[in-house]
């Protein structure tokens, strides 16, 4: 092994930041190293990270093992105490090239509850060419959902100014990117900390106007209660904004939502899905749901199960509840782990059925498909589409959606 290897756990934001880490480490001249960008959403994610650390040391005994990310930021002393680990970096330090310099001093290991932190960073050049890319425009969170530890790892909400977003989008497009997905910890909070308090919808419209060569813009997870009117308007009148909304729902029962300290109600979730389809009939809906939150009864769980159909959630992410030390939910009456796993399996089954129904409903329709790799593309409404393997990667083609194959559609070029 002679190059830096970055192992990523968790969310899309971590995946985006791993690109920055890779570039920063290369710029610092770091060699023969494994950097683990950890996640703290669940205890299982931390267990997997520890397994990966031990495996990395066994397989690469001479490599430098560096641990960073949310888990390392929240409990740096835990990872620094592991005999396999050479260096622990928090979420701020991991994005700076000087952190990876061979002569860099070992940083202190503080905890960071409630810190402000810097604004989101963008990669400074480097080899980031790809067809689709994430662009982080917001970092941190000012809210305190009772199950979530991430605000303590990511700090307070802060936004990237529009000028920097435009510059980064232009660099990505110049590198061949056709579709950009805007991402953040609490994306709908974008702009509240900036002069003039621009909303996410206002920023997205200005971005599309400033970068007309960007073919497609997509949004990552949204809080349905905080989608601004400018964003709804943009969804209705801008074809370059893809008709796919992913909502951070977490539950379908109002009492559980209150115990989670979520900002939306069940009715608001259903209304948001309906409004999206009214503005763009071809829109598809994705969502996150947690199975087995403390105090969740079978009747409460049924309301989450029913929400999949009521919102028409085709792209469902299911998270079995996992208690995080230091969160209010961890002090609530917990459900049996076997029951949590069983409820998660039922939610996943409902999600799989909803996806199959969604895909079958698209047979005979048409969609512009972005070719991501030979023989596989991405529809406007986010579904994967199998297609002619000779079509060039990075090209966009209008296709007739002819059949369903597993979790994919099959697209053919119109004759």
Cβ-based neighbour number of residue 365 at 10 Å: 13
> pLDDT over 90 for what percent of the chain?
67
| pLDDT exceeds cutoff 70 at 116 | no
Q: Are 255 and 248 in contact (CB under 8 A)?
A: no
d(CA 403, CA 362): 9
165 Rama sector, left if φ>0, alpha if ψ -120 to 50, beta otherwise: alpha
| pLDDT exceeds cutoff 70 at 335 | yes
Q: Which residue did the predictor score with more confidence, 229 or 127?
A: 229
Exposure of 263 in the CB half-sphere (CA atoms within 13 A): 14
Cβ-based neighbour number of residue 277 at 10 Å: 16
**Alpha-carbon dihedral sign for residues 251, 253, 257, 263:** positive
- 17 band by pLDDT with thresholds 50, 70 and 90: confident
Span 290-300, average pLDDT: 97
pLDDT at 355: 97
- 127 band by pLDDT with thresholds 50, 70 and 90: very low
pLDDT at 298: 98
The residue whose two tokens read 């970092």 is 139
pLDDT at 112: 42
| Among 63, 50, 62, 45, CA closest to 5 | 63
d(CA 368, CA 349): 29
Q: Angle 266-279/229-237 helices, nearest 10 degrees?
A: 30
Span 207-216, average pLDDT: 98
| Candidate from 106-120, 304-318, 375-389 with smallest mean pLDDT | 106-120
Q: Which residue did the predictor score with more confidence, 351 or 74?
A: 351
Span 288-295, average pLDDT: 97
pLDDT at 114: 41
What does the radius of gyration of the chain's CA atoms come to, in whole angstroms? 22
**Alpha-carbon dihedral sign for residues 143, 144, 150, 154:** positive
pLDDT at 20: 84
Six-digit token string for 205: 């419209």
pLDDT in tens, 148-183: 888 877 788 999 999 999 999 999 999 999 999 999
Six-digit token string for 341: 């796993």
| Candidate from 41-55, 95-109, 196-210 with smallest mean pLDDT | 95-109
pLDDT in tens, 230-260: 999 999 999 999 999 999 999 999 999 999 9
pLDDT in tens, 56-112: 999 999 888 999 988 888 888 889 889 999 889 988 888 888 888 876 655 544 444
pLDDT at 227: 97
| Among 202, 248, 241, CA closest to 222 | 248
- 125 band by pLDDT with thresholds 50, 70 and 90: very low
| φ, ψ (nearest 5 deg) of residue 50 | -65, -40
Contacts (Cβ under 8 Å, ≥6 apart) of 175? 128, 129, 130
- 19 band by pLDDT with thresholds 50, 70 and 90: confident
| φ, ψ (nearest 5 deg) of residue 284 | -120, 150
| Candidate from 138-147, 270-279, 307-316, 348-357 with smallest mean pLDDT | 138-147
d(CA 152, CA 141): 9
């Amino acid at each position: 092994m002679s190059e830096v290897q970055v192992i990523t756990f968790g969310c899309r934001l971590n995946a985006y930041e791993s690109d920055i880490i890779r570039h920063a480490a290369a710029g610092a001249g770091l060699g023969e190293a494994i950097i683990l960008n950890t996640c703290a959403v669940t205890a299982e994610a931390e267990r997997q990270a520890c397994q990966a650390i031990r495996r990395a040391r066994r397989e690469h005994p001479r490599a430098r093992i560096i641990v960073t990310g949310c888990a390392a930021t929240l409990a740096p002393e835990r990872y620094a105490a592991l005999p396999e680990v050479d260096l622990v970096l928090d979420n701020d330090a991991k994005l700076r090239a000087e952190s990876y310099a061979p002569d860099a001093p070992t940083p202190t290991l503080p905890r960071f509850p409630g810190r402000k932190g810097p604004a989101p960073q963008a990669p400074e050049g480097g080899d980031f060419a790809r067809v689709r890319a994430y662009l982080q425009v917001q970092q941190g969170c000012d809210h305190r959902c009772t199950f979530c530890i991430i605000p303590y790892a990511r700090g307070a909400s802060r936004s990237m100014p529009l000028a920097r977003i435009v510059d980064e989008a232009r660099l990505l497009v110049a590198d061949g990117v056709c579709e950009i997905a805007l991402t953040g910890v609490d994306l709908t909070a974008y702009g509240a900390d900036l002069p003039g308090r621009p909303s996410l919808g206002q920023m997205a419209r200005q971005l599309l106007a400033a970068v007309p060569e960007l073919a497609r813009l997509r949004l990552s997870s949204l809080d349905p209660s905080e989608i601004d009117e400018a964003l709804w308007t943009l969804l209705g009148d801008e074809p370059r904004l893809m008709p796919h909304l992913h909502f951070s729902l977490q539950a379908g029962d109002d009492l559980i939502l209150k115990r989670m300290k979520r900002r939306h109600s069940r009715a608001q979730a259903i209304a948001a899905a309906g409004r999206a389809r009214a503005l763009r009939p071809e829109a598809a809906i994705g969502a996150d749901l947690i199975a087995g939150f403390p105090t969740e009864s079978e009747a409460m769980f049924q309301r989450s199960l029913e929400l999949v159909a009521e919102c028409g959630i085709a792209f469902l992410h299911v998270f079995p509840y996992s208690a995080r030390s230091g969160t209010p939910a961890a002090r609530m009456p917990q459900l049996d782990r076997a029951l949590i796993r069983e409820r998660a399996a039922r939610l996943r089954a409902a999600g799989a059925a909803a996806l199959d129904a969604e895909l079958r409903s698209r047979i005979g329709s048409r969609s512009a498909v972005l070719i991501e790799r030979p023989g596989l593309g991405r529809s406007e409404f986010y579904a994967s589409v199998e297609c002619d393997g000779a079509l060039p990667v990075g090209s966009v083609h209008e296709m007739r959606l002819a059949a369903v194959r597993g979790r994919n559609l099959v697209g053919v070029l119109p004759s």
